[in-house]
Structure 1
């Protein structure tokens, strides 16, 4: 039986890191790097860390932080709590009417996901286990990682840089200029070395016809996958049509919310690679269940992630617990919010990274290094 756990404080820490070069996708541009960390502390002094997805809109980080301390924290402080999975389901169900009332399905899912991540970290630390082992006794100790966040215009340089620090798999962003992107992708493919794989991500940037044309034109490149070639809410007929046009596996999942959506995506068979983001929906509780379902159906589980260091490490633990042939996404653009964790992580060797040693996540944010970028800290600690 799980020891009685009582959370006595829940903090939301907001950071904003200025960027020398904005991060661009087919749908928008990040002018700075935001992050929201969740810090939970129990009545024994055990601390757990989580991360809430907040990349868009630009004002989203502060909103998520306030949502955590004003709405989610009062539901959990100073009461005996169930297991992480049961509490995740409880919080999701308890906020269903609020989600309908506000229309904010994304923000609530993201805040609950970040809380779930921190609660898993805390409970694993209390149990003296790594997060991966707390989720599965069969968890691996290392995962394969791929270099991501590579704009097609910068890809030649960035792939070379990623290769030099140990990566063997690379994902480039397309969906900006059809002909130019296609030409550059072909050049990248021609320069691959034995054992290396190239993936492409359109971030929902193509129309149906453009998606069809791009998949046909790249069918002979042996891409590891084509991610979100069209809008995620396109009907099943279009997704099935796209899957039938090419030998390239289709990937998606970062923009799906809720167990039914993932169940449908897995059952349809159009997506060969399932990519939930543990800071955006589900946390470890929801994403591990999706990973298990995906693997049982013969799909690959490759967690999406584009954020700071806490969520990245959590994604690695979930992947290690899930097993299989999945890969960890690591955005290789400069990002102190990703790098300012102790101990230093990840270190890539021949495309693989070892999980951090230690309890829970095995890392903590380096708040001293991040102090000049912290813009807000909200604390919920009153008895309800």
Structure 2
């Protein structure tokens, strides 16, 4: 008989950043923040999850859902999460979905550890043992100096097969940054450009025209997430379009996919409602032959969960030969929430990250590091 859930704890974490921090066209962040969820069963199995968003707002929402779980039987979390997302005052919006994401992931982790299988297996079966990583780098900093931008790329990309840079700062500066990145990467590595939704349709069109000759793998979030109709006006873009990191639940992905408004969909496991919601988006994308590349820009637990998700996503429509890899985003900036939280941090080898084979998420959280990083201790 599967154990009952004994405790569910929300743990706010903060890692301050030096030199004014870094960020995107939306602004700089002075610290990396996240909320971990620690779930323990009566049998002593511990599952971990991660919720994206400001901990001051997310923690109470995690506690609200946690109160309903204590004392219940540990099982696959889909029915519980569906009920919470559909509750009359939740409706799956915003930080409610982010909070549930951490709770849901912790449930999968604990269930996998209880049954002795990986989360990828629970999500439908392991389709791969490793995933190709691209460097998430080229962040906006206070100086916005192109020489320092180049140095950042030189330090962070290493032997990875591609890199994503931050733009959305205006056509001229976006062109300069993308041209430098293409020079650093050379002709054979993928270059992704992220505007973080900082453009109107006409501005996005102008950026697309100026970057079209640089062989951009995708242009991410060309418009704010609520401007779905605006994406129709970018139809025919010579650069593939990607979006989805700021969307919650599978529902808003329906139009993006069925109307073929973008080429890549990018749910974030720590925001969208958890692993099952992200997997549902992957299946929608597969049904309409749209590419899937989840966003991940949090801590090590979110990265582990995303690896398990990608470990269960089959190649499509390909069989023996896959023209381009299934990508995982690997944040390369200073981030103690990524580097300090696991007893064995993720390190790419040959440009790839292994999908952990152990039970649950397949990683061990360093609880001493959790205590050192938590902000309410």
User: Is contact 1:49–1:364 with CA below 8 Å preserved after alignment?
Assistant: no
Counterparts of 1:240 and 1:357, CA distance in 2? 41
Aligned to 1:156: 150
User: Is contact 1:122–1:360 with CA below 8 Å preserved after alignment?
Assistant: yes
User: Is contact 1:174–1:201 with CA below 8 Å preserved after alignment?
Assistant: yes
Give 1:5 deviation, angstroms.
4.1
Counterparts of 2:121 and 2:76, CA distance in 1? 15
Give 1:310 deviation, angstroms.
0.4
Could you say what secondary structure the match of 1:243 adopts? coil
Counterparts of 1:35 and 1:47, CA distance in 2? 19
User: Is contact 1:81–1:87 with CA below 8 Å preserved after alignment?
Assistant: no
Aligned to 1:337: 337
State the structure with bigger RCO (CA 8 A, min sep 6), 1 or 2.
1
Equivalent of 1:62 in 56, 63, 76? 56
Aligned to 2:97: 109
Could you say what secondary structure the match of 1:140 adopts? coil
User: Is contact 2:174–2:207 with CA below 8 Å preserved after alignment?
Assistant: no
Deviations 1:40-79 (CA, angstroms, capped at 9, x unpaired):
011211110000102xxxxx2022112212x111211112
Aligned to 2:23: 24
* 1:140 to 2:128 alignment: yes
Consecutive unaligned residues in structure 1, runs of 5 or more: 55-59, 378-384
Give 1:109 deviation, angstroms.
0.6
Counterparts of 1:9 and 1:74, CA distance in 2? 9
Could you say what secondary structure the match of 2:11 adopts? strand
Aligned to 1:346: 346
Using the TM superposition, name which of 153-162 and 116-125 deviates more. 153-162
Deviations 1:127-163 (CA, angstroms, capped at 9, x unpaired):
1111112212243111111111422644412221223
Counterparts of 2:253 and 2:223, CA distance in 1? 17
Could you say what secondary structure the match of 1:357 adopts? coil
Give 1:174 deviation, angstroms.
0.3
4+ long deviations beyond 6 Å: none
Equivalent of 1:14 in 4, 12, 34? 12
Equivalent of 1:280 in 253, 271, 279? 271
* 1:369 to 2:362 alignment: no
Aligned to 1:382: none
Aligned to 1:301: 292
* 1:242 to 2:234 alignment: yes
Give 1:91 deviation, angstroms.
2.2
Deviations 1:17-51 (CA, angstroms, capped at 9, x unpaired):
11103122222321111121100011211110000
TM-score by length of 2: 0.90
Query: Superposition RMSD on alpha carbons, in Å?
Result: 1.8
* 1:75 to 2:73 alignment: no
User: Is contact 1:53–1:280 with CA below 8 Å preserved after alignment?
Assistant: yes
Q: Compared with structure 1, are the counterparts of its residues 306 and 283 closer, same or farther at alpha carbon in structure 2 (3 Å cutoff)?
A: same
Could you say what secondary structure the match of 1:99 adopts? coil
TM-score by length of 1: 0.89
Could you say what secondary structure the match of 1:230 adopts? coil
Higher helix share: 1
